[in-house]
């Protein structure tokens, strides 16, 4: 199971240590072979779990170190996100796109409603729809960026 003789010897030594500690609690009718099997199996499983956690931690630490040592160009990421944002807004229906662009110019809902000759409630709903769409689309984009960073590190 362990594929390493030295490690297997360590596990067996640990098992015998535990067995000696539990010898006082054992009853004469207990099967020594069954107890040994149970202790060795659990020790091996525990070791494999610990090793898996350690490997995951080491991999995470490598990615984090590389990220710290070579931080991504934040200006480039901002530019890419703004480009993606503009492309997604361009795909909006004309009325929604116009409302959204006016909102990006920092006009209030009331000012947009007056300018478009619609109710404030309609402006609010249109902005809500646009934000929901952008959030969904840009979440996928952010996942791609994160995967690229991990892949390149």
Q: What is the pLDDT of residues 13-59, one digit of tens each?
A: 888 888 787 777 776 666 777 777 888 888 888 888 888 888 778 77
For residue 103, give the DSSP letter: H
Residues 6+ apart with CB under 8 A from 89: 97, 100, 101, 130, 134
pLDDT value of residue 114: 94
3-state secondary structure of 91: coil
Q: Please choose, from the candidates 111, 112, 110, the residue with its C-alpha nearest in 3D space to the C-alpha of residue 100.
A: 112
3-state secondary structure of 63: helix
State if pTM tops 0.95: no
pLDDT value of residue 21: 78
């Amino acid at each position: 199971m362990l594929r390493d003789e030295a490690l297997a010897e360590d596990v067996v030594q640990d098992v015998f240590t535990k067995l000696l500690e539990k010898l006082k609690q054992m009853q004469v009718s207990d099967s020594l072979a069954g107890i040994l099997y149970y202790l060795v199996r659990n020790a091996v499983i525990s070791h494999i779990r610990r090793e898996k956690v350690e490997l995951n931690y080491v991999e995470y630490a490598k990615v984090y170190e590389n990220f710290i040592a070579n931080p991504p160009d934040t200006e480039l990421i901002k530019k890419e996100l703004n480009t993606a944002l503009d492309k997604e807004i361009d795909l909006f229906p004309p009325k929604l796109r116009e409302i959204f662009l006016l909102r990006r110019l920092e006009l209030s809902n009331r000012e947009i409603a007056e300018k478009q000759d619609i109710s404030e409630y309609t402006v609010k709903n249109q902005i809500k729809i646009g934000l929901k769409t952008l959030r969904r689309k840009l979440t996928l984009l952010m996942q791609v960026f994160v995967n690229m960073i991990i892949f390149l590190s």
